[in-house]
Amino acid sequence: MRHLISGAAGFIGSHLCDRLIQEGHEVVALDNFITGSLENVAHLKGHARFRLEECNVAAGFSAAGVFDQVWHLASLASPKHYLAHPIETLETGSTATRNMLEVARRDGARFLVTSTSECYGDPLEHPQVETYWGNVNPVGLRSCYDESKRYAEAMTMAYSRAHGVRTNIARIFNTYGPRMALDDGRVVPAFLDQALRGQPLTVFGDGSQTRSFCYVSDMVDGLMRLSRSEERLPVNLGNPLELTILEFAQRISRLAGRELKVTHEPLPSDDPRKRQPDISKARRLLGWEPKVNLEDGLRETIAYFKALAEGSGRHKSPALSSPR
């Protein structure tokens, strides 16, 4: 099959490229590198079935040939990035989503958009199930990201209903693994960067807020399974193991092999207090659930960041390695 992927040089996008290439498909990869990195796909350079094009999908682009599957993964997913680029974030969810949908409509291709658990906002329902409509501040600091994804879901459903495009919507919960950017501000790379430097771990608020963490190979497997399904409504993809941020800091400290202090900073505006996916739908429809346990996944991720810090192995992180 021939695949078109936006955000292909990003963290999850680059691993999806690997999976598709491994399965024998052809990939046309799009990225404007506002947060993606050439290093994430450098190992695919020169591959006969991989082509990388630098472009902003919100500004319009030419997608030559016919595609069987269109994936819209382009996103500024880190608060650090979407707060710095709020307009670009909104355009990625709106104009860019429609541009990618138009390619799928043109070619009669399948279409998958990666949405987010942030559609649930600061949830009043726990764990979060797909039928929950959320508790989102539409004009808060985080609204550029939250509302862009909610709009992307609405646009995707509109194309499904009005034009018969075969669509899927993945609501992704916190995902981690090799190729995350150490400086993107999210909790996993932030903690690991501080741990590798022997610095105190920065916890926002009192650390009682919860998150759940899914290893990237599990996430890509979920996306692949969803893309082959006939489910049109959103599906949660994430790991239901829930930890407080303080508990997570303790695990990082233990894996780092040293006692790390914790410092506290004020909690950001509209930061969710609870975040845990109900994945009953994914289990039932896709036969999917995470397989990689947290400590194994973190060890793999730590090894990747250590290699980067040592200036070696920059491109050699194993494609979709699946520690057990």
State yes or no: is 145 an active-site residue. yes
Burial class (CB in 10 A: 0-12, 13-18, 19+), 151: middle
Q: Strand, helix or coil at 189?
A: helix
- Are 61 and 99 spatial neighbours (Cβ–Cβ below 8 Å)? yes
Encoded tokens for 109:
């291709």
Q: Strand, helix or coil at 318?
A: coil
- Are 79 and 174 spatial neighbours (Cβ–Cβ below 8 Å)? no
Alpha-carbon distances of 187 from 71, 169, 173, rounded to whole Å: 26, 25, 13
User: CA–CA separation, 74 vs 5, rounded Å?
Assistant: 8
User: Which position among 82, 120, 145, 159 bears the catalytic label?
Assistant: 145
Residue-wise DSSP of 117-153: GGGGBS-SSSSB-TT---B--TTSTTHHHHHHHHHHH
Which of 17, 18, 12 minimizes the C-alpha distance to 319? 18
Give the DSSP letter of residue 58. Answer: G
Among all residues, which ones are annotated catalytic? Answer: 145
